[in-house]
Amino acid sequence: MEQKLREAFARRQKKSITDEKRLSSAVLLPIYYKEGQCYILFTRRTEKVKEHKGQVSFPGGARQDGESLLETALRESREEINLSPADVEVLGELDDTVTVVSNFIVTPFVGVIPWPNDLKADGWETDEMIEAPIAALLEESLWEDKDEVIEGKPVTSYFYHYGGRVIWGATARILHQFLELYARAMKS
């Protein structure tokens, strides 16, 4: 799987967003093998954080001065779920996306992590970790899309229903893009 995804990332042109009015941020979309299946690890944010309270997300956050966006994603993953940067095999980068209310440009990285792992939600930013098999997320019955106008531009919003939760917003857009790439890569 890793090789097919690496090749799929190498064949595509990443779409970057530049907007000095928005804050740069990055997330890690962690994938791993467990019991013969490939999973994605999500987090659920606490009610203590300033932005995105209680939302299902990927580990990540705002870029600090002097660090690359990949370093941001890896630092935030260590802080939020105790994931060592050395344990992440980065496969590629998805397109930038924006958060409307919180005003971020989000750069998503996809990485394979070992399983089992000594991960633990930090309790300050992250309330819990949520495991979702990729095969389940690919089921069309688990998601819906809706055309909206955001900041004067037509946008397709996605909503994934899994484990009694709804994955929406930037996380759902990132997830949707990854699942499309994954499905194409596994067919090749």
Q: How far is the C-alpha of 132 from the C-alpha of 146, rounded, in Å? A: 23
In this predicted model, what pLDDT tens digit does every residue of 10-64 receive, in sequence order?
999 999 888 888 899 999 999 999 999 999 999 998 767 666 566 899 999 999 9
Q: Is residue 151 part of a domain?
A: no
Q: Is residue 166 part of a domain?
A: no
Averaged over successive runs of 10 residues, the pLDDT of the chain (188 residues) comes to: 92 90 94 96 81 80 95 97 97 91 90 94 88 95 88 86 92 96 92
Q: Is residue 155 part of a domain?
A: no
CATH number of the CATH domain containing 134: 3.90.79.10
Q: Is residue 98 part of a domain?
A: yes
Q: Is residue 22 part of a domain?
A: yes
Contact criterion met (CB below 8 Å) for 61 and 176: no
Q: How far is the C-alpha of 175 from the C-alpha of 177, rounded, in Å? A: 5
Q: Is residue 112 part of a domain?
A: yes
For the chain, what is the domain count? Answer: 1
Domain hosting residue 105, numbered range: 2-138+174-187
